[in-house]
Amino acid sequence: MLSPLQHYNQIPVYQFPLSFPPPRSRYIYLSWALWEQRLGNISNARKLLQRGHDLNRTDPAILQAWGMLEGQEGKVEEARVLFEKAVEIDASHLYVWQVREVRGGVGGGGCMGGVYV
């Protein structure tokens, strides 16, 4: 029996976006992008987050996840821009601010040099 990850490469997962109208739920894009990231498919994860953001322009969670991805990939400036956009959309979104605190905030000693909002 194949594990889910082994089975992943044997099913037409990438036909899903072409076969159905795109779902609007952010959770589909967030979960799928995180799965792609864990598998090392960073380009696919970015595409899914971009598509999720295109469909959910007022959702800061997608931008927060995207910012985390870019930060982990060493693209600190891109991550900062995404976090700033997330804060502009909803300054009360707790998780965007928590990332700022975990990463060290402005001038802090976080692992990304404290470049966040």
Sign of CA pseudo-dihedral 10, 42, 33, 110: positive
Is 116 a domain residue?
A: no
Q: Which residue range forms the structural domain that includes residue 44? A: 4-102
Number of separate domains in the chain: 1
d(CA 115, CA 117): 7
Would you say residue 111 lies in a domain? no
In a domain, 109, yes or no: no
Query: What CATH number should be reported for the domain holding residue 45?
Result: 1.25.40.10
Look up residue 50 and give its amino acid: Q
107 in a domain, yes or no? no
| pLDDT at residue 107, as a whole number | 38
Rounded to two decimals, the pTM is 0.67
**pLDDT tens digits for 55-103?**
989 889 999 999 999 999 999 899 889 988 988 888 777 676 666 554 5
- Stronger pLDDT, 9 or 23, i.e. the higher one: 23
What pLDDT, on a 0 to 100 scale, did the predictor assign at position 113? 46
For position 115, what pLDDT does the model report?
44
